[in-house]
Chain A
Amino acid sequence: MVTIALKAAFVYYVVYWLDTFILSWQCLTRPIVIAPLAGLVMGDFHTGIVMGAALESIFMGISAIGGAIPADATTSSVIAVAYTILTGASIEEGLAIAMPIGTAMSSFGGLLTPLWASLAPFWEKLAVEANPKKFLIVNILVSFFTMPFVNAIVLFFAVAYGVEGLNSLLASLPVWVMTGLGAASGMMLAVGFAILTSMIWSGDVAIFFFVGYVLVKYAGLGTVPIAIIGAAIAISLFMSDKKLSDLKTSLTNTQVNVNDDEEDFF
């Protein structure tokens, strides 16, 4: 069990971490990529590939096992491949084990969200030092130990020693800690938005903040339609400003002409 767990955690960690640096977003962490790689590490490439196809179909919602789609594609894929290769279990059995681990991992991850959020002021301070090399290096170093690392450790213990330990740990936490941390994550975003708002806020146009707000809350529109409405308002404002300035220039010009005429007249 410990070997399965170690290999699964290793593949998960490397791929999850690497996905942050190459090929855009959520490419390497998809089942169709990570399952063959897990197979390769665990010594059965062929099974990894075939399972990659099956797992990708499950997670794309093409087919579901027992009517349910497990929460986290990456975790579930790695664990399912590990179990199938090392114990001869079926995909269904592998996923049955993976599902509670994925759920426990995401609730544990939720606990740590405020921790990553509390790093934000540190990043801001580091950025203002205007030392881009240092900023990049510290970012890369810290990224070794954040989400992928914590997740891989939790995955390792859950696979090696059973998910019960993790679940009882989570259950032993008072409910208010969990709800409190959950509530904090929803409200912390307001800090980011508040900094942004205070930078672009200016008296004569401030009211437009509420136009966007109301369009979401009352009309339930998405960002694309709101952007189109907003662009229409912005463009018509721009155009009326342009007309005003055109008028101003033409007025100044005629005034100059009139003055010239008057001088001639007198």
Chain B
Amino acid sequence: MAKKILSQEENSVLKSMFLRSHTVFINFNMVKMEANCFTITMAPAIESIYGDDIEEKKEAYLRHQNFFNTHAVALSFIAGLAYAMEKEKKETGAVDGQTIESIKAALMGPTAGMFDSLFFNCLRVIAAGIGIGLCADGNFLGTIIFILLYGVSQSVFKYILINLGYVYGTSFIDMVFETGLMTSLTKSASVLGLIMVGAMTAQMVNVPLNWTLTVGQTSVVVNDIINQIFPGLLGVVLLFTLVSLIKKGKRPTQLIFGILAIAILGALIGIF
């Protein structure tokens, strides 16, 4: 892939995105997790690409307010890539919103696993090992070395990866666009995205049914029976019920408070 020289505007957008991408856990919640950080990080890109086009801007902001969760460093890479995709969407129309969603969804799960083991389980242990040795003798340098090795290094990686994500994202899309295979790429991206969303749903969505039916002498754990039919069936049913409610135009507020009410009522009558 050819090396791309970034314009001044692109550079300043990327720099601003890099700084904003540090807010990974800002107002983290159990519905959309790191979505707020992603919106904040994408804001300079969206403003620079869509300018005065308020409708497209709204659409883009909504797109990047979707559920998002990965490791702090990986977030920068995906944001860089998303910048490249948004730019292609506006300039050439080669990429559509669904593809951007799919690629984000496809990348967040595996990058979370990779970067967690790299940074949290490896680099952190090394940095703490060095730091502990110095701090045990009352040397504050130990803390500073820990911050440099574990904290500052992550920031450096964030800076490198946000640029890499943008540069390689752009040249990759250009390459595919020239071969005229963009629809194939869109389809492949949706396939991978859906596989990963399915996997993440299976891992994270949990309907903790704790209901034992007692008929005479025998008691039956309802959840076991359901899971024998299909493991986690209730989670799938819940998800697709919500999908169909969203398609019918129900607001997320209604869904969230509905779930809260059902959970508390369920707990009251003893099925959770």
Chain A residues proximal to chain B, CB less than 8 Å: 19-28, 30, 32-33, 36, 45-46, 49-50, 52-54, 56-57, 60, 62, 113-114, 116-121, 123-124, 127-130, 132, 135-136, 139-140, 142-143, 146-147, 175-177, 179-202, 204-206, 208-218, 221-224, 226-227, 229-231, 233-235, 237-238, 241-242, 245
Contacts and interface: CB of A to CB of B under 8 A. Distances in A.
A136 B43 contact: yes
A33 B142 CA distance: 9
Nearest to B32: A192
Nearest to A211: B195
Interface string B174-207: 0000011101110111111111111111111111
Contact of A183 (B66, B188, B272): B272
B190 A188 contact: no
A74 to B, nearest CB: 13
A238 B185 CA distance: 6
19 contacts: A23-B22, A25-B72, A30-B128, A33-B146, A49-B139, A52-B143, A128-B58, A179-B272, A181-B263, A183-B207, A186-B208, A191-B259, A192-B32, A193-B201, A200-B105, A213-B201, A213-B232, A238-B184, A241-B183
Most chain B beta-carbon contacts within 10 A, residue among A60, A182, A186, A233: A186
B113 A116 contact: no
B135 A49 contact: yes
B93 interface: no
Given A123-B35, A142-B27, A208 B256 contact: no
Given A128-B58, A130-B58, A121 B192 contact: no
Nearest to B152: A23
Contacts of B71: 25
Given A114-B260, A116-B28, A128-B58, A56 B132 contact: yes
Nearest to B42: A132
A61 to B, nearest CB: 10
A201 B98 CA distance: 9
B140 A45 contact: yes
B47 to A, nearest CB: 6
Q: How large is the interface on B (under 10, 10 to 19, 20 to 34, 35 or more residues)?
A: 35 or more
B168 interface: no
Contacts of A120: 29, 31-32, 35, 252, 256
A183 B266 contact: yes
A196 B199 contact: no
Given A119-B29, A189-B31, A245-B181, A24 B22 contact: yes
Contact of B193 (A21, A200, A238): A200
B266 A50 contact: no
Interface in B34-49: 35-36, 39-40, 43-44, 46-47
A53 B256 contact: no
Interface string B115-153: 000001000110010011111111110110011001110
Most chain A beta-carbon contacts within 10 A, residue among B61, B63, B251: B61
A102 to B, nearest CB: 19
A200 B210 CA distance: 33
A69 B101 CA distance: 40
Interface stretch (B4-12, B77-85, B212-220, B238-246): B238-246
Nearest to A127: B65
Nearest to B183: A241
A184 to B, nearest CB: 4
Contacts of A182: 208
B247 interface: yes
A223 B29 contact: no
B140 to A, nearest CB: 6
A23 B135 contact: no
Contacts of A143: 26-27
B264 interface: yes
A212 B243 CA distance: 18
B110 A234 contact: no
Nearest to A237: B188
A255 to B, nearest CB: 18
B36 A223 contact: no
